[in-house]
Amino acid sequence: MKKPGSPIIPLAWLLAVVVLDQATKAWVMDRFAMFELLPVIPGLFNLTYLTNTGAAFGMLAGAQTIWRQVFFVGVAALALGVMAFSYRQFRNQGKIFAHAIGLIAGGAVGNLIDRLRFGAVVDFLDFYVGSHHWPAFNVADSAICVGVGLFILGSLLYPPQESEK
């Protein structure tokens, strides 16, 4: 019988993402006024201090505060539960899944901390081309996207083995 995978990889990613996410957000909040903009690569990338009370792309930003908070905290708790379940299901299928799950969980926790502390998520990475801006995001959002990408890649590289009868 194959030995179950160790939870060290996803826990290390979770911790690293949360620390980096919260450190970068603290730096931005300390150095920038709300909506202040610092061009880093003109025509492509700015640092700016924004908050998002909604979900991705500002969805649900106009909902009543208490219900919005309950919803997002519930969604984050559910996502973390799904990540724990997913780890149990995928831990023996390849380390790529452990990395993916850790990144996604770390991103969920990083943004959950913001919602609990500030009632909104701090965003500061602003990419654009001309007048076309991608919605601002943060380290936690990036970790979630990279984690999902790794999970998809792992699913393509390591398809589930059919169980023997």
Per-residue pLDDT tens digits for 2-23: 555 678 999 999 999 999 999 9
* Rounded distance between C-alpha atoms, residue 96 and residue 27, angstroms: 31
Please check whether residue 100 lies inside any domain of the structure. yes
The distance between the two most distant Cα atoms of the chain, rounded to a whole number of Å, is: 63
Please check whether residue 41 lies inside any domain of the structure. no
What is the pLDDT averaged over residues 126-132?
93
Please check whether residue 142 lies inside any domain of the structure. yes
For the stretch 62-100, pLDDT in tens is 555 676 677 778 888 888 888 888 887 887 788 999 999
* Rounded distance between C-alpha atoms, residue 119 and residue 124, angstroms: 16
Helix (H, G, I), strand (E, B) or coil at 62: coil
Q: Which of 21, 114, 123, 126 is catalytic?
A: 123
Please check whether residue 19 lies inside any domain of the structure. no
Residue 1 is predicted with a pLDDT of 45
Count of structural domains within the chain: 1
Residue 164 is predicted with a pLDDT of 44
Please check whether residue 150 lies inside any domain of the structure. yes
Please check whether residue 40 lies inside any domain of the structure. no
For the stretch 26-64, pLDDT in tens is 999 999 999 999 999 999 999 999 998 766 545 555 555
Residue 59 is predicted with a pLDDT of 55
Please check whether residue 103 lies inside any domain of the structure. yes
pTM given for the model: 0.83
Number of H helices, E strands in the chain: 4, 4
Altogether, the residues listed in the chain come to a count of 165
Residue 119 is predicted with a pLDDT of 86
Buried-state track 60-97, b at ≥16 Cβ within 10 A, e below 16: eeeeeeeebbeebeeebeebbeebeebbeebbebeebb
Please check whether residue 127 lies inside any domain of the structure. yes
Print the domain residue range for 78: 64-157
Establish whether 114 is a catalytic residue.
no
Establish whether 123 is a catalytic residue.
yes
Q: Which of 21, 114, 126, 141 is catalytic?
A: 141
For the stretch 137-159, pLDDT in tens is 999 999 999 999 999 999 999 87
